[in-house]
Amino acid sequence: MSGKLQVGLLYGGRSGEHEVSVRSARSVAAALDRGRFDLVPIGLDRSGGWHCMPGGALPDAVAVAAGQGAAVVPVGDSGACRLVGDAGETVQRIDVVFPVLHGPFGEDGTIQGLFEVLGVPYVGAGVLGSAVAMDKDIQKRLMRDAGVPIVPFVTLRSDEWRDDPQAARRRIGELGDRVFVKPANLGSSVGISKVDAPAQLDAALDTAFRYDSKAVVEKAVDAREIECAVLGNRDPKASLPGEIEPGEEFYSYDDKYSAESTARLLIPAPLTAAETAEIQQLAVRCFEILDLRGMARVDFFLERGSGRLYLNEPNTIPGFTSISMYPKLWEASGVPYPELVSRLIELALEWHQARPVAVD
């Protein structure tokens, strides 16, 4: 083994964002400074099984699906972790984990809890921040109580919808006819539907409940979609904001990731100096309210006509594909992709080293 830090790049996983995660991981792997770090690709299959891929190999969706690589389980080992094979042998030592597991079982505090138990440094938010930011319902409640502007919303559980659909329709009806229906715990626009008339609501809710037992229904606003990247631990900084001009009616999964997408990313966003400052300040404030660290992309709505700014949502493991906003925003702000990846690893190590150590 070299004297370089062994970076475990964790990707794939059980969520509906499996493919996006693999694409993000390929971009991170390509940007990793091999002069400082050794890449250890760790693919999680759709059943949650861990596979240590050949050293230095770029992540591949087919390889993960086929269960290639050595089947391993992680074991804590004095501030790092070991990947142990079926016969109990150590396959690989990991010094720091870089998770790019978007969505449930990766961005929701579950895998972060495992890293905490193992005692290994990891990139991104901790258990609490990850869990709260992932749940659109809980996150919106906290933001509302903190005085952060959000659009009106209703939360609905699948059993409420099943047991009394008429009551559910009445509650949602208070938001108006035009709404967005979203699974409460998912990203990349998976399972999201735009509803322009009450007749479309049932199908939209059925779609959301395919992915989560809880749905968030938001009042639709005529707004520009603005995103801002945040980087840091105790003194986080915000990037220049960017704007998304969807190629479809809204910024859907296909619009984000399809090769045929006609969506446009405007970086930096065409904003006044005052609007830029307000967005950056609110992005950092949201980051701090949720007790985040490392990284987050904070998304906003800028209402046309009124100019009102609303928080849409924070993302604690934002997309890292070659066309994703988070790295592009930092590149426009003077931090190239390879430097960004290195900085995120440094922030993970910094946080881990500064954490209090319990004593008897």
Catalytic residues: 17, 188, 257, 297, 299, 313, 315, 319
- Closest Cα to residue 81, out of 70, 69, 96? 96
Give the separation between CA 127 and CA 121, rounded to whole angstroms.
13
Give the separation between CA 52 and CA 6, rounded to whole angstroms.
13
- The vertex-29 CA angle with 257 and 351, nearest 5°, equals 105
Pairing of strands 37-44, 5-12: parallel
Can you read off the two tokens belonging to residue 344? 């995120």
Give me the helices (H) in the chain, please.
18-31, 61-65, 110-118, 127-134, 136-145, 158-163, 165-173, 201-209, 253-257, 273-289, 325-332, 337-354
Query: Which residue pairs from 55-62 have beta carbons closer than 8 angstroms and sit at least 24 positions apart in sequence?
Result: 55/92, 58/26, 58/29, 58/30, 59/9, 59/11, 59/12, 59/22, 59/25, 59/26, 59/29, 60/22, 60/26, 61/12, 61/18, 61/19, 61/22
